[in-house]
Amino acid sequence: MEGLVVFSFALREEEPSPCNVRLAEATERILAKAKQLGDVLVVAQWEVAKKLEQDGVGVDLVVLPNTDASYLDTKDVWDQAQNLFQRRGVVTVIPVAQPFLHLSKVKQLIHADNYVVDVTYLGLIGRIGFDKESLQSWTRGPVRLFCMPSARHSWVARATLRARGVVREKGWVRVKRAHLESFMSYNITMKRKHSFNIALIVGTILLGVLLLSLGFNQNKKVEETKQEEPAIIETQKPAPKTVIRAENLLLVPYTVQAPLVNWNIHEQSCEEAALLMAHYYLEGSQIQIIPPQTANQELINMVAWQKSNYGEEKDLNLYEVGKLAQDYYGYEYKVTEDITADNVKRTISEGNPVLVPVITHALKNPHYGPNPSYHILVIKGYNQNGIITNDAGVKEGREYFYTWDVLWQAIDAQTKQMNQGRDMLVVTR
């Protein structure tokens, strides 16, 4: 089961506002896709939940305003969602929020609490935009975000609004007309104060420019009376060289490519498993093994995304694996051809795991079955004798050791099938 949490954006006297209608519609598009793969637990802030329930979409938890009239911020909403997710065993969360201003913060909050952020459906959110008629000045447009009264003023205004009069009607919050007028009066006062502040700032800047201009002219006259001195040329210091140690090991989380021993589903999921391990490493995860239920759902999502966007799931060469990492996770990638042991050691010493293509049976790993196949191997470390890998092809593959000779033989064995040589892929943020 996955979780979905949707955050409101902008506030009007009558909700849902246009932004929150668009957020509800985005949620409906995402649920239509996500529910094809399994159950989804839905948490929605009340402004969006109102539209969802009007459209007949079930919401498991509606996050209502704080009863003490204090400001309900993003963290408050996430805390309530997280409490439900913990009770129901949810580990993967789909965030839905205004992309320009809000989504990045939401993803950071979710990730900070060790949940997996499912980015599969973020492209379905679409444009949410701003609301010129919002009661919150910072949600009226990108220009107002920086030029209107600061967000803290709007937070105070909203808290003041609630403190002066809030009534509940069928679970929803409606603002009394008299108190709305009081709030709007407050906002107008703040705008006037802010207009004065802008004029003061602009005047200060102009005065500063004038003084700098006068000072520059004065300094120019003084310089003309001095004898010309030899110029001092600064040379750029070379970048520090990477220290390549005799042994190295990166803490890359592990998963087998069939986390629930469901090989009938994940027989071809080695590329996805390799990227998933790299993803957890790049996101700073400190776990040693990705939870099987989580890994299974992540792999299913990635395969479904490929079929939806590429038309199929197939064996991918390194350039195609890199393109998948870029399209799906938003990462950068680089393929290096004709590599040596020094390339592998240097890359790992720089803090990046290495992905290489192999044929499984050339690895001489006794845990593989009878049929050889194309495979992507994650190299996470090395020593003088060989490499340390996360081999997703077998359940015993965590920190599995192969000699350098075996590695080269396994890479060479796939050249005829995949038309790529001794190449490696590095994925970075």
CATH architecture of 248-428: Alpha-Beta Complex (3.90)
pTM, to two decimals: 0.50
The pLDDT assigned to 138 comes to 77
The pLDDT assigned to 155 comes to 45
Domain boundaries, the chain: 2-174, 248-428
* CB atoms closer than 10 angstroms to residue 308: 10
CATH architecture of 2-174: 3-Layer(aba) Sandwich (3.40)
The pLDDT assigned to 228 comes to 46
Q: What is the pLDDT of residues 75-99, one digit of tens each?
A: 999 999 999 998 888 889 999 999 9
The pLDDT assigned to 69 comes to 63
The pLDDT assigned to 210 comes to 65
Q: Which of 195, 186, 180 is nearest to 153 (CA)?
A: 186
Q: Which residues have C-beta within 8 Å of that of residue 36, sequence separation ≥ 6?
A: 304
Q: What is the pLDDT of residues 395-410, one digit of tens each?
A: 999 999 999 999 999 9
The phi and psi torsions of 48 (rounded to 5 degrees) equal: -80, -40
Residue type, 183: F
Residue ranges in the chain modelled with pLDDT below 70: 68-70, 142-204, 208-241
Residue 88, token pair as written in the block = 């129901």
Q: Could you give the CA distance from residue 159 to residue 157 in angstroms, rounded to a whole number?
A: 5
DSSP structure class, residue 122:
G
Q: Could you give the CA distance from residue 164 to residue 176 in angstroms, rounded to a whole number?
A: 9
Q: Which of 96, 110, 105 is nearest to 27 (CA)?
A: 96
Length of the chain in residues, anyone?
A: 429
Q: What is the pLDDT of residues 384-398, one digit of tens each?
A: 999 999 999 999 999
Assess whether the region 2-174 and the region 248-428 belong to the same CATH fold: no
Q: Which residue has the tokens 């809030």?
A: 166
